[in-house]
Amino acid sequence: MYQFDFEEPTWVHFIGIGGISMSGLAGLLHNKGFKVTGSDSYDTSMVKKLRADGIDVAIGQRAENIADGVEAVVFTAAIHPDNPEYAEAERRGIPLINRADFLGQVMKNYPVSINVSGTHGKTTTTSMVAKLLLDADLDPTVFVGGMVDCVGGNYRVGGKGYFVAEACEYTNSFLSSYPTTAIILNVRAEHLDFFKDLDDIMHSFRLFAERVPEDGLVIVDSGIENYHYLTDGLKCRVKTVGFSPEDDYYADNISFNDSARATFTLHEKGGETAVISLDVPGEHNVSNAMAAIAAARDAGVPMSVIKESLAGFAGAHRRFEIKGKIGGVTVIDDYAHHPDEIAATLKAARRYKDARVLCVFQPHTYSRVKTLMNEFVDALSLADVVVMADVYSDREPDNMGVSSKDISDRLAAKGREAYYFPSFEEIEKFFLEKCIDGDLLITLGSKNVYLIGEHLLGR
């Protein structure tokens, strides 16, 4: 595999540069003096930001984008050998390296590398860890799968001591990483277009935990079913987080304010007890916070800093992000696209005092809808009114015999108020007529469903 020398800048081209992770890696190299170019399929806001930073980005992937002088090419998992830029680089003998391997090479340059894994909650927890280290003046370099105000975007170039990043399980990308601290938040049936089943996913997370060196640390949520499979026999240290006094970090005395923000008592085994207040909603964020606290404490962050830092953590964009109000209706956007994530978001919404919860959900991939149909129905049943948008599928064809209407029909059969509309315009019109003062309107999904809320606010 081609090895980058980060002290010797070269010319690197990124295929798919507009992705949330690729753009961050491109920005890091640009910051370090590398010549960076790239291409993407769409002229997105991220592409515009890269151009504003001085990086040349072409729209559309063509062989001529591999200019004379390019010395290495980084590509995403979505890029295949028949891609014209990939094929041209291969024809010229230019080294090709996938995003996961490149990210692994980056983190090997840092003595402390904190990797946050789990099928849900990675972006929020990574952002929490980053803020804790920032507020402790530890100057971390950060890569996160969302836009985060405290980081200044989706990446931050800091000092040479600490590296913080998400570790994604899809296509086993996280098996290219080199964590000294690995956080495992949860393990659920997800990405079943790649993994065979939950056992297959658990096996990959076990392999990820085994990448931590003997002097490193694995932080695991004890709520994971059979979590001992992930940790038994590891040579490194292991700490658990959860809601039992047997855990190394556990929470009790949990209460919520009218906006679903939690206050809880944190107990640290052999250490301190502290009252922690969060500015992000839901019980799932209590779990996320404990994992972040465990990593921060291992880095030597004082509990006094942790309390103040988390009280000021407003979350990442598209994670229960309050977008604004229209006619007394609060519009919220959330990236949730798996039933567990949807349930966590809607449970948090239900803690809002006296609010009716309406949501629109845009599923991502037909395989996810097919394999998790019943789970989607159960999760969405937590809302008072559900509207289904069409499935967004950018990596598989519509040949599985399922649709968004199937979910709305099953919800209606259970006595829930559910609708399906084929266009965003129809959905917006429905909400304009349906919503009343005091409602919460939540857009759910990992793709462009957030535009519905933004269009409504624009009216």
For the domain that residue 337 is a member of, what is the CATH number? 3.90.190.20
Q: What is the model's pLDDT at position 12?
A: 97
Question: Are 307 and 235 members of one domain?
Answer: yes
Among the candidates 283, 311, 339, a domain finishes at: 311
Q: What is the model's pLDDT at position 5?
A: 86
Does pLDDT of 459 surpass 80?
no
Residue 433 lies in a domain: yes
Q: For residue 209, name the pLDDT band (cuts at 50, 70, 90).
A: very high
Question: Are 288 and 327 members of one domain?
Answer: no
- Domain hosting 306: range is 110-311
What span, in angstroms and rounded, lies between the C-alpha atoms of 264 and 255?
Answer: 6
Question: Are 128 and 85 members of one domain?
Answer: no
Q: What is the model's pLDDT at position 77?
A: 82
**pTM for the full model?**
0.83
For the domain that residue 79 is a member of, what is the CATH number? 3.40.50.720
117: CB partners within 8 A, 6+ apart:
166, 167, 168, 169, 174, 182, 183, 184, 185, 205, 208
Q: What is the model's pLDDT at position 317?
A: 79
Q: When comparing pLDDT for 6 and 175, which is higher?
A: 175
User: Two tokens at 338?
Assistant: 């798996």
Does pLDDT of 396 surpass 80?
no
Does pLDDT of 7 surpass 90?
no
What span, in angstroms and rounded, lies between the C-alpha atoms of 458 and 143?
Answer: 31
Domains: count for the chain: 3
Residue 3 lies in a domain: no
Question: Are 346 and 443 members of one domain?
Answer: yes
Percent over 90 (pLDDT), the chain = 75
Does pLDDT of 359 surpass 80?
yes
Question: Are 135 and 160 members of one domain?
Answer: yes
User: Two tokens at 391?
Assistant: 């499935």
Q: For residue 181, name the pLDDT band (cuts at 50, 70, 90).
A: very high
What span, in angstroms and rounded, lies between the C-alpha atoms of 77 and 431?
Answer: 37
For 387-416, what is the mean pLDDT? 91
Question: Are 36 and 80 members of one domain?
Answer: yes
Question: Are 155 and 279 members of one domain?
Answer: yes
What would the DSSP string read from start to end of 344-392? HHHHHHHTSTT--EEEEE--B-HHHHHHTHHHHHHHHTTSSEEEEPPPB
**Amino acid, res. 145:** G
Q: What is the model's pLDDT at position 21?
A: 86
Question: Are 138 and 187 members of one domain?
Answer: yes
Residue 148 lies in a domain: yes
What does the pLDDT look like over 115-165, one tens digit per residue? 999 988 999 999 999 999 999 999 999 998 888 888 888 889 899 999 999
pLDDT, the chain, mean: 93
Does pLDDT of 408 surpass 80?
yes
Question: Are 329 and 423 members of one domain?
Answer: yes
What does the pLDDT look like over 262-291, one tens digit per residue? 999 999 999 999 999 999 988 889 999 999
Q: What is the model's pLDDT at position 447?
A: 87
Question: Are 336 and 303 members of one domain?
Answer: no
Active-site residue set: 122-123, 166
Q: For residue 419, name the pLDDT band (cuts at 50, 70, 90).
A: very high
Residue 5 lies in a domain: no
For the domain that residue 169 is a member of, what is the CATH number? 3.40.1190.10
Q: What is the model's pLDDT at position 42?
A: 84
Helix, strand, or coil (residue 110): coil
